[in-house]
Chain A
């Protein structure tokens, strides 16, 4: 698969050079890449899911290593792995439920073997529930799995599992089926990513009332759509946009908002505290949402969140599901941060004489710090609005558990040791 490798390398370089702006674009491209990886991956007769998982994982490792700060990539890799497992499982349970056979001699995978045994012993739904320790039976998982198994049962290939070796035709159809299902699911994922802000924006009307004053910082497509959706519903309100130095994305957002006919006031970042006493709600986008409900956000938002807390202004974070990261942060201000070029703050020409001042020690007198992200602890966040609805920060771990399987959390761990 040289073409896939080329694609992967291309994407890797883009990630490394930080060519892709925004976690949404990153997530979508990552998902598309993984889709082509899956479709190109040749699947052996046995253990198809395992092979796919290994392939995705191998690519995923590289992607995550290319830009460990871009958590969306890791999220997507885990989501795809989760999809593979889910699809494989639903297929297997469907087969077993259809035939009701007890012999599961040719286990696909270690995991699959285990699962098959489980399913043999119990009903399909219970097996699906028991599979993941992180995921005790919830209504959603039950509902998710049941229709699948209900629609699939009487497929012609369902018998193939037990006498797989003898019936190669059945086997291949099942392989194709698995791959096909997975790709379908990944397509759905991509669809979700591209339309997530529409789903978030749909909820805008429930949160923005007439004559509200809203503050935001920097630029986020989700926030833009969210505000615009409220405007569309004839709510009139004003928006204060902090410009978000040193990238000044706020200017971009202000321009867009003005073009769409919202009352917009652009302020400097330093005026946030002065203004916030007149603000009814802070609505911001996020870079990533951690499992503890903390937010990795564009730089400056921790300041805004503190000011909002001081004045008891709700601090609302909009985040698509691809931004939900199953990891718990440790020292995120440093470890999940990135320092951008000092040239955004200082003109090199102006300070070139200062930068190498420390002739004696060799260490320069002047340091310029330009972090890209801020960590907003969960206690400062009032509400998360995702494409599945509004959630408390304390609930995020549970929401996240729905999207990922516990086995995949270690992807990162392996990478850490691998590097």
Chain B
């Protein structure tokens, strides 16, 4: 009884936070003599993780809650778990499909590939009566064999009772390490409780403590930390530093001298700092651009740690050939796929460890080319998780095949299918006679517009563009090529054009958990003006781009582009006022890439979970994160 109770209570805070929690009937067993919470203080405080030391727990039979229950409780959005998603489940079919689409997405960065979006292909499948919630069921199906619904304690007991004897010494070693981990986590939380480092609150300890104090702990950190601890026991042992990586690290602050120095020593490419750094943005990397390129190119044959496919993608990032967070994410994943294909484990090393390290080094290379987008960060979290959770019993070939199909699945489900669902939803918001405004060249919105056009809706599109990238012109080309009536203007004229607009469709690089939409710079201006003119603002964003971070302004975290493009105006050679004075100390050029749109300007976020208000983002973030990591 106790052991059954214990896992429930340990995972309780997380369940409670969902807000949909009801006691499942099979668990409410009659008359538990001990109140679950009261059972905890009896365990010694040093081992807050509570399962290993308590002898009573380990002796009693282990109960793992049936997976379906836990999943249905934990994820309220999953309506129908057993239903299969009617889609190519075989990796080969999905690969070809995703290759096709992904390659076109990549091509969108290049000006030449203007009308290559495979609209028909996409919408065929989207139209085949796919329920909105169907998407997630795929992952549910995959969850079944390794479901760990309860949380840390469940796994612990699982380890101890059923596996500890059968498996080799390794497992006990794992246990020991797990114990250490738990203690460390407990210490960290104790500190956090003191109010010193609230962000460091991690692991099971936090959840136990918060079981007493009703205050919900920072959920995502909990989740991932608990998960990391859980991995330890689940058989594979990823290197310890990986566990730390699971917890979203505080981002690198570039005004922190010592850390910058360290990072520089590690760097593949020597970067010279820009001369006229913008004071407000000292915390972001500001490097000279030109040197970076030539150096990278010259080092092509020297950089043996970097796989050629990764190298190529890195260069494409650097030159801006691939832009847009979806395209970047897909390109990166496919490069990793290549790299995994060619990977072979060195002797005396384990695949999980070595590959993670390898991917880590690729990543740092990619980051040097261009800072990761949030979508890419999420994808990498997924990938590392998959690697960490590879069963030890798999051979190298099998493991590689699994990983590659996992990547394919991620691209398919989280990006391509998600886009289709978004299109399906968004099209219902377009009616005849509408004037739709979009800003920049968001891929999801483009698909929406093309699909609506194919459905024969009569509407007009206002493409608003801004310097320096002028991505809107590419979108304009493609839309006009399809015969859609377009109006083109620049972001300054937004107040003029907003009079005639009936809906604003925007894309997003990420949606943060406070509802802030983190997107191409200028999106906030458009949303603000639309709000002032009482025009609804709809943001199309795949759920894999959601992030648990919060941000209030656009300055704390951002990316700085090449400042030189500010002073030179493409196609307007007559304007060269700044030619002589760019070297002046007083002049700084600031090329922000992103900005943060406050949630009150957003009417609705269209995502693969449906259409939600910005206030619902944290719910999706948490739910999504769980499902996405626990696949």
A255 and B488 contacting across the interface, CB-CB below 8 Å = no
Query: Which residues of chain A come closer than 8 Å to B522, judged between CB atoms?
Result: 268-271, 273
B484 and A365 contacting across the interface, CB-CB below 8 Å = yes
Q: Within the assembled complex, what's the spacing in Å between the Cα atoms of A354 and B479?
A: 10
B210 at interface by CB-CB < 8 Å? no
Mask: chain A, 234-269; 1 = CB below 8 Å from B; 0 = not: 000010100111101001101101110111111111
Q: Whole-angstrom distance from the CB of B581 to the nearest CB of chain A?
A: 5
A303 and B588 contacting across the interface, CB-CB below 8 Å = no
Q: Which residue of A lies closest to B496 (CB)?
A: A371
B588 and A370 contacting across the interface, CB-CB below 8 Å = no
B567 interface neighbour in A257, A266, A374, Cβ under 8 Å: A266
Residues from 557 to 589 in B contacting A, C-beta threshold 8 Å: 558, 566-567, 569, 571-572, 575, 577-578, 580-581, 584, 586-589
Residues from 508 to 558 in B contacting A, C-beta threshold 8 Å: 520-522, 524-525, 528-529, 532, 553-555, 558
B205 at interface by CB-CB < 8 Å? no
Mask: chain B, 472-485; 1 = CB below 8 Å from A; 0 = not: 01001100110111
B592 and A366 contacting across the interface, CB-CB below 8 Å = no
A158 at interface by CB-CB < 8 Å? no
A268 and B577 contacting across the interface, CB-CB below 8 Å = no
Q: Which residue of B lies closest to A354 (CB)?
A: B480
Q: Whole-angstrom distance from the CB of B111 to the nearest CB of chain A?
A: 10
If over half of B's interface residues share one DSSP class (helix, strand or loop), that class is named, otherwise mixed; here it is mixed
A261-B586, A369-B488 known; A277 and B553 CB under 8 Å?
Answer: yes
B590 at interface by CB-CB < 8 Å? yes
Q: Within the assembled complex, what's the spacing in Å between the Cα atoms of A270 and B465?
A: 9
Q: Which residue of B lies closest to A261 (CB)?
A: B586
A330 at interface by CB-CB < 8 Å? no
B476 and A366 contacting across the interface, CB-CB below 8 Å = yes
A266-B567, A278-B280 known; A244 and B521 CB under 8 Å?
Answer: no
A209 at interface by CB-CB < 8 Å? no
Q: Within the assembled complex, what's the spacing in Å between the Cα atoms of A350 and B477?
A: 9
A333 at interface by CB-CB < 8 Å? yes
Query: Which residues of chain A come closer than 8 Å to B493, judged between CB atoms?
Result: 299-300, 369-371
A365 and B483 contacting across the interface, CB-CB below 8 Å = yes
A383 at interface by CB-CB < 8 Å? no
Q: Whole-angstrom distance from the CB of B549 to the nearest CB of chain A?
A: 17
Q: Which residue of A lies closest to B494 (CB)?
A: A303
Query: Which residues of chain B come closer than 8 Å to A346, judged between CB atoms?
Result: 473, 488
Q: Within the assembled complex, what's the spacing in Å between the Cα atoms of A351 and B487?
A: 13
A395 at interface by CB-CB < 8 Å? no
B502 at interface by CB-CB < 8 Å? no
Since A270-B520, A272-B525 are in contact, a sample of 15 more A-B pairs with Cβ atoms closer than 8 Å, ordered by chain A residue number, is A246-B490, A248-B569, A248-B572, A251-B567, A251-B578, A258-B587, A268-B466, A269-B491, A271-B590, A274-B521, A277-B554, A345-B488, A346-B473, A365-B485, A367-B486
15 A-B residue pairs with Cβ-Cβ distance under 8 Å, sorted by A, are A244-B492, A258-B586, A266-B590, A267-B590, A269-B490, A273-B595, A274-B595, A275-B592, A300-B491, A346-B473, A346-B488, A351-B476, A365-B483, A365-B484, A367-B486
The 4 closest A-B pairs by CB, nearest first: A270-B522, A300-B492, A274-B554, A302-B495
Chain A residues within 8 Å of B, Cβ to Cβ? 238, 240, 243-246, 248, 251-252, 254-255, 257-259, 261-275, 277-278, 299-300, 302-303, 306-307, 310, 333, 337, 344-347, 350-351, 354, 357-358, 365-371, 374-375
Chain B residues within 8 Å of A, Cβ to Cβ? 278-280, 465-468, 473, 476-477, 480-481, 483-497, 499, 520-522, 524-525, 528-529, 532, 553-555, 558, 566-567, 569, 571-572, 575, 577-578, 580-581, 584, 586-592, 594-596
